[in-house]
Amino acid sequence: MKAEIITIGDEILIGQITDTNSAWLADQFSKNGIETYQVTSVHDAREHILNAITNAANNVDLVVITGGLGPTKDDITKGVLCEYFNTELFFHEPTLEHIKKRFGRRGIAINKLNRGQAMLPKNCTILPNELGTAPGMWFEKNDTIFVSMPGVPFEMKYITEHELLPKLLETGRTTAIFHKTILTQGIPESMLAERIAKWEEALPDFIKLAYLPSPMAVRLRLSAKGENMEVLKQQVVQEVDKLIPLISESIYGYDNETFSEVIGRMLKIQGKKLAVAESCTGGCISHLITAVPGCSEYYNGSVTSYSNQAKENVLGVFHDTLEEYGAVSKAVAIQMAEGVKTVLNADYSVSTTGIAGPSGGTDEKPVGTVWIAVSGPTKTCAEKFVFVGDERERNITRAAQTAMQMLRRLVLEEGGK
pLDDT of residue 174: 87
Interacting residues of 225 by C-beta distance below 8 A, sequence separation 6+: 175, 176, 177, 206, 232
d(CA 205, CA 195): 20
Neighbours of 305 (CB within 10 A): 24
Residue 17 has pLDDT above 90, yes or no: yes
Residue 387, SS3 per DSSP: coil
pLDDT band of residue 115 (cuts 50, 70, 90) is confident
Give 97-137 as a DSSP string.
Answer: HHHHHHHHHTT----HHHHHTTEEETTPEEE--TTSSSPEE
pTM of the model: 0.72
Each residue of 378-387: pLDDT tens digit?
999 999 999 9
Q: Are 332 and 315 in contact (CB under 8 A)?
A: no
pLDDT of residue 385: 96
Q: Are 66 and 5 in contact (CB under 8 A)?
A: yes
The residue-averaged pLDDT of 307-320 equals 97
Residue 87 has pLDDT above 80, yes or no: yes
CATH number of 2-170: 3.40.980.10
- Locate the domains of the chain by residue range: 2-170, 176-254, 259-415
The residue-averaged pLDDT of 309-338 equals 98
Residue 210 has pLDDT above 90, yes or no: yes
Nearest to 350 by CA among 259, 270, 417, 224: 259
Average pLDDT, the chain: 94
pLDDT of residue 417: 58
Q: Are 348 and 413 in contact (CB under 8 A)?
A: no
H-assigned helices in 177-283: 189-195, 197-201, 229-247, 259-270
The residue-averaged pLDDT of 24-33 equals 92
d(CA 256, CA 11): 29
Work out the angle at residue 335's Cα, subtended by the Cα atoms of residues 270 and 302, and round it to the nearest 5 degrees: 55
Each residue of 67-80: pLDDT tens digit?
999 888 888 999 99
The residue-averaged pLDDT of 299-325 equals 97
Residue 330 has pLDDT above 80, yes or no: yes
Class of domain 176-254: alpha beta
Nearest to 293 by CA among 337, 256, 260: 260
Residue 215 has pLDDT above 80, yes or no: no
Each residue of 293-309: pLDDT tens digit?
999 999 999 999 999 99
Each residue of 122-162: pLDDT tens digit?
999 999 999 999 999 999 999 999 999 999 999 999 999 99
Distance of CA 341 to the CA centre of its chain: 31
pLDDT of residue 227: 85
Each residue of 217-231: pLDDT tens digit?
899 999 998 888 899
Percent of the chain with pLDDT over 90: 86
CATH code matching the domain that covers 259-415, chosen among 3.20.20.140, 3.40.630.30, 3.30.930.10, 3.90.950.20: 3.90.950.20
Work out the angle at residue 19's Cα, subtended by the Cα atoms of residues 76 and 31, and round it to the nearest 5 degrees: 110
Interacting residues of 253 by C-beta distance below 8 A, sequence separation 6+: 183, 259, 261, 262
d(CA 119, CA 27): 31
Give, rounded to a whole angstrom, the gap between the first and last alpha carbons of the chain: 51
d(CA 308, CA 324): 13
d(CA 278, CA 311): 10
d(CA 46, CA 317): 64
